[in-house]
Structures are given as structure tokens and as C-alpha cells.
Amino acid sequence: MQIRPCESEDHAGVDALLRAAFPEPGEAQLTVALRAADADTLELIAELDGAIAGVVMFSPATAKTGAGAEIPGLALGPVAVLPDYQNRGIGAALIEAGLDFIRTLGPTYCIVLGDPDYYSRFGFEPAPSLDLHWTGDPEDKTGNAFQVMALNGAPNLPRGTRIEYHPAFDIV
């Protein structure tokens, strides 16, 4: 397996992968919207047997403190692996490679919306337990699925901070 940056000639393959991995087209549409907004901070693909088997994308996130400060960070997602290639560690390898790279960019935190049992292995923690909240879910109905990970030390986010994804996420 080779993990490498996604190139423009890979976009059709990534689109097909996302449409195969998810029952709804939201993730494929999100990827297109993030690219169009130049908000695809990092997009990696995994090639296996000459085909694109997986993808991970990181995009900007913004934490807004109660004092009005804005702290830039990154959001993980979408991440997907073709159904025939799942449960082989491809998704985990993509996430780890992406996290290793984004640490070099200097943000203090990364967020994700997903299964806490899966993402905790990478160091993500349920955001509500840290009194951090997603602006897209003002009532915290997603519970522990909204998670945060400190990068390069502490996330430096005061309790009560509200975090938002890039506006492209509004389509999913």
C-alpha cells in the first residue's frame, strides 16, 4: 500500500470511492465543496493493487471562545475506504499519516465527528467532557461523537469554547 497526496487526476477515483463507501452522496459532495473553496488542507489517498482504496481529508476548523478569540485548528473528515478493502488497516494508516503531517503545520487541535471507540485510538477525546461544543449541534445531541484531539501539546481551548467546521460542511 502506498499513501500519497491526492492529485487532481485522482479526483474522479476519490469521488467513486466515496460514493461506494457511503449510502448517501454527502461525503462526495463535501469533498468537491472543500476543494472548490480551497479548504482541503490535506487530502491523502491510499493506493492498493493499482487502485485508490482509501482517502482522508483535513480542512480548517475555527474555535470561538467566550471572550471572542478565534483559534484556528483542523477537522478530520471525510475518511473512507472502499468496502472490499475495509478492515485491513487502510483507514487507520491514512489517519495516522495525516495526523503526523498536520502536526507539522502547527495547529493545536483537530476535531472529528465519528465513532468514539474508533477515533479514541488516535488520541481523540469526547469534546463535551472537555466542555467544548460543535456550533452545528448547539444542544450536544451528537454526544461523544464530536471529539477533539490536542496536537503539539495542549489544545489551548478554554472550557465553553464552540468549534465550527468549514462552511462546506453545511451541505452534509
> Please, how many CA atoms are within 13 Å of residue 117, restricted to the half-sphere of its CB?
0
Residue 16 lies in a domain: yes
SS3 category, 59? strand
In a domain, 53, yes or no: yes
Reported as a pLDDT band with limits 50, 70 and 90, residue 145 is very high
What's the helix, strand, coil split of the chain in %, to 5?
A: 35, 30, 35
Per the domain annotation, does 49 fall within a domain? Answer: yes
pTM confidence score: 0.94
Q: How many domains does the chain have?
A: 1
Distance of alpha carbon 127 from alpha carbon 113, whole angstroms: 10
Q: Tell me the C-alpha to C-alpha distance, in Å, between residue 143 and each of 19, 42, 124.
A: 27, 27, 14
Domain range for residue 65? 2-166
- Which CATH number characterizes residue 109's domain? 3.40.630.30
Backbone angles phi, psi at 12, to 5 degrees: -65, -40
Judge whether residue 153 has pLDDT over 90.
no
Q: What is the pLDDT of residues 28-64, one digit of tens each?
A: 999 999 999 999 999 999 999 889 999 999 999 999 9
| 172 occurs within a structural domain | no
* Structural domain contains residue 171: no
